[in-house]
Amino acid sequence: MARDLRPFFEPRSVAVIGASEKPGTVGRAIMTNLLERYRGKVYPVNIKYDKVFGLKCYRSILEIPDEIDLAVIAVPADVVPKVAEECGRKGVKALLVISAGFKEIGGVGVERERKLLEVVRRYGMSMIGPNCLGIYDPYSGLDTIFNPSDRQGKPGPGSVAFISQSGALGAALLDWFTEQGIGLSKFVSYGNAADVDESDLIEYLVEDERTKVISAYIEGVKDGRKFMRAVAKAVASGKPVVVLKAGRTERGVKAAASHTGSLAGSYSVFRGALAQSGAVVVNDLLELLIAVRALETGWKVPGPRVAIVTNGGGAGVLATDAIETLGLKMAELSNDTIEELRKALPPAASPYNPVDVLGDAPADRYEKAIEIVSRDPNVDMIMVIALMQAPAIDPSALLNVLKRAKESTLKPIVFVAPGGGYAYKHLLEVQRLGIPSFRDPIEAAKALSYLYTFSNAIDRVKKYLQILT
């Protein structure tokens, strides 16, 4: 059974230990974020102040007269165990320890983290951290991300959860999610994972109704079997898990150890175990974004066959190469489909896959080709490529074509618009329709491969889960 982590995401009250109004401090940033967005009660705690942002400031959490669900700790590392002890005596359910200076520094930090964990266990609390950026929940308004708001993007509510062992990397991904309109259910930077770890978070997210896709940046895993079981549970329940694993090389392993104190084992073993558990494994941040954009659609794909509709032959060739290289297949269009395309398209157009509607194609020509291809039983997925620079394309008309196509066919559609600012602007408009959209046909091919990989894994993983449990 998953640990109850609701006090971290939906607390009725939060104490900020280390609260401050001093510019540039973590305590100020956390207070500012909570007062702007969070709808529960906020209690500042700091021995230096009587008031913080007009609120009574307490010298200790023990002085607060009300119950506290979550304590956010942002004080020097050497006093964190003492503060945690006071939280335990107060009856706090959850600790979020932002402070660094623990296992990741070695030596005295290892012992400090051991003492902190001993306090947490003795009082039956749960803890995220230490050495983390914390939590952002756009539904409850809980926000402990201490980067300045004018520099840090924060996505609106959505269905994608992202957990990250690295706070800084997590912050960068939040920027990208915001730019591309990907809504979040929850974000967690969990740092050293002294108590609540990646497996606990995934198990909780499996049961979270707002989360449809789980994505993760991971440096090391404490309990491999527990982690694989959590991933398999998610996949078997229909929730994709996208994993970017760092520490793939000898030097990368050493870097992970000095960053969050993680023990990163053999990458090849880890990757194989992840694949067996049904995870979608990606190699870099861009691939993580591609996978999330594809999988948040919720599409299930029965087969690997792809049809391409394009107004540029070269882009179609690149897409074909990528599709075949990634283990997908170019769909063999039926004779009836080919004949329909011949009748609907100009004589110079290609009715074969990739279907080349030519560089002078207006939006209605795209519509005819997409309609015909989507009816072919040999086609499982469709990639639409548009060189938006072509003078015949009316972006608004094409947007409407794609909107109708998405609504009229159950088959997944991805869109590609290679180019710079003009193309990218219209690409984002298509993305907002819920159609995964990309600048490069290779990225679009990867998106389709992730859809197929996940869809193909669900039934297999259900059997694998029975073995694990």
- Domain map of the chain by residue range? 1-132, 153-296, 305-455
Model confidence at 263: pLDDT above 50: no
CATH topology of domain 1-132: Rossmann fold (3.40.50)
- In this prediction, residue 246 carries a pLDDT of 83
- Rounded to an integer, what distance in angstroms lies between the CA atom of residue 146 and that of residue 436? 31
Instruction: Give 401's contacts (C-beta < 8 A, 6+ positions apart).
Output: 363, 364, 366, 367, 370
Residues 86-132 have pLDDT tens digits of 999 999 999 999 999 999 999 999 999 999 999 999 999 999 999 99
Return the percentage of the chain with pLDDT > 70, whole number.
95
Find the length of the chain: 469
Average pLDDT over residues 34-50: 95
The pLDDT confidence band at residue 462, using thresholds 50, 70 and 90, is confident
- What's 153-296's CATH class? alpha beta
Residue in the block written with tokens 């994709």: 240
Average pLDDT over residues 388-416: 96
Q: Where are the beta strands (DSSP E) in 46-175?
A: 51-52, 55-56, 70-73, 94-97, 126-128, 134-136, 157-164
Peptide bond into 130 cis (omega under 30): yes
One-letter amino acid of 139:
Y
Rounded CA Rg of the chain? 25
E strand or H helix at 250 = helix 250-260
Grouping H, G, I as helix, E, B as strand and the rest as coil, residue 49 is coil
In whole angstroms, what separates CA 221 from the centre of its chain?
Answer: 18
Are 13 and 68 spatial neighbours (Cβ–Cβ below 8 Å)?
yes
Dmax over Cα atoms in the chain, in whole Å? 82
pTM as predicted: 0.91
User: How many Cα atoms within 13 Å fall on the side-chain side of residue 144?
Assistant: 34
Strand partners, 52: 55
Model confidence at 397: pLDDT above 80: yes
Q: What angle do CA 125, 102, 259 make, to 5 degrees?
A: 115
> Comparing 43-57, 147-161, 184-198, 429-443, which segment has the lowest mean pLDDT?
147-161
Pairing relation of β-strands 241-245 and 94-97? unpaired
Model confidence at 427: pLDDT above 90: yes
Model confidence at 261: pLDDT above 80: no
Average pLDDT over residues 442-460: 95
- In this prediction, residue 262 carries a pLDDT of 47
Which overall architecture, per CATH, does domain 305-455 show? 3-Layer(aba) Sandwich (3.40)
Are 218 and 241 spatial neighbours (Cβ–Cβ below 8 Å)?
no
- Rounded to an integer, what distance in angstroms lies between the CA atom of residue 249 and that of residue 246? 9
One fold for 153-296 and 305-455: yes
